[in-house]
Amino acid sequence: MKTMNCNQLGGACGKEIYSNTVEEVSALRKQHGIEMHQNQLKSELLQLSRYKTECRS
């Protein structure tokens, strides 16, 4: 049984990911990133674009 958390795998949170194989951990990490961090990334990009718009006006 392998236990890695999102941080250890280069992610932005401490969610623990368990699996029997390293391959499966990395697959689950990828899935978790798609589900959990894509929204986060989008909102960061949205904030950034708002900030740029405010600077221009």
Residues that bind Zn ion (CB under 5 A): 6, 11, 13, 15
- Smaller CB distance to Zn ion: residue 14 or 52? 14
Report how far residue 51's alpha carbon sits from residue 35's, in angstroms, rounded to the nearest whole number.
26
In angstroms, what is the minimal distance from the CB of 4 to Zn ion?
11
- Smaller CB distance to Zn ion: residue 15 or 26? 15
Chain centre to alpha carbon of residue 50: 22
In angstroms, what is the minimal distance from the CB of 13 to Zn ion?
3
Report how far residue 29's alpha carbon sits from residue 24's, in angstroms, rounded to the nearest whole number.
8
